[in-house]
Amino acid sequence: MNIIEIFASIQGETSYSGLPTTFIRLAACNLRCSWCDTPYSFGRGTPWTLEAILDKVKENGLRHVCVTGGEPLLQKEVHVLLSHLCDAGYIVTLETGGSLSTQDVDPRVVVILDIKCPGSGMSDKNHWPNLLLLRAFDEVKFVLLDRQDYSYAKEVCDHHNLWSLGCQILLSPVHGQLDAQELVGWVVQDRLPVRLNLQIHKYIWTPETQGV
């Protein structure tokens, strides 16, 4: 598999925020979100064998493993990797940009599904059938650039009745572009059953720091 980096840090977002985690960042992405914070993942990466990846994860010795990108579902071998990680007893999350089908993902994996809003420039790439595959322990993430994105997220949740699924719905302001206080004001005013998703690694380190 082509890998950008494997590192140990704390999970910076989702409801797993703050938990020590091994990250496996797979190379390449089929999208180009306007606010992307990991453009270094667009490259070809370095080839790693499945065994070498599993050895590295074991060496890190952490219970949580997050497979991310780029877009991890671009590499078909990711499914074998995910299943091996589950077999080994790790709590595994998969972060996907939401443009490719999640139907072949091992059912033991927690899917963190992005739904791209207009501000990303990629909202026409959302693979809507993925919403039908969501389980209560999966999470849906909207990254918001502005008020228009917030309204879009609400409309998507209403239209697809995501509120009834029981899964976490994460609203994440684009760091440095949408004021979190403003977003909190909208959420509280509308009484939305969502979770504010701040990327805490950008507060612990600088927003540009890689490998954290």
Footprint on this chain of ligand SF4 (rule: CB under 6 A): 29, 31-33, 36, 38, 41, 69-71, 97
Strand 46-47 and strand 2-10: the pairing is antiparallel
Given the complex with ligand SF4, which of 38 and 123 has the nearer CB atom?
A: 38
CB of 41 to ligand SF4, least distance (A): 5
Residues 88 and 92: their CA atoms lie apart, in Å, by 10
Q: Are strands 139-144 and 91-96 parallel, antiparallel or unpaired?
A: unpaired
Please say which residue, 32 or 108, places its beta carbon nearer to ligand SF4: 32
Strand order of the sheet with strand 46-47? 46-47, 2-10, 20-26, 64-68, 91-96, 110-114, 139-144, 168-173, 195-196
Alpha helices (H) in the chain, listed in sequence order: 50-60, 78-87, 147-159, 180-190, 201-204
Of the pair 95, 138, the CB lying nearest ligand SF4 is at 95
Q: Which of 12/69 has CB closer to ligand SF4?
A: 69
Query: What is the nearest approach in angstroms of ligand SF4 to the Cβ of residue 27?
Result: 10
82 vs 97, which CB is nearer to ligand SF4? 97
Distance (Å, rounded) from C-alpha 149 to C-alpha 81? 34
Q: How far is the CB of 125 from ligand SF4 (least distance, A)?
A: 9
Structure-block tokens of residue 116: 């791209």
Least distance in angstroms from the C-beta of 198 to ligand SF4: 16
Least separation in angstroms between CB 39 and ligand SF4:
7
Q: Please list the residues that pair with 141 across neighbouring strands.
A: 114, 170
- Nearest residue (CB) to ligand SF4, 109 versus 115: 115
CB-based contacts of 4: which residues, under 8 Å, 6+ apart? 25, 26, 27, 40, 41, 43, 45, 46, 69, 70
Strand partners, 3: 26, 46
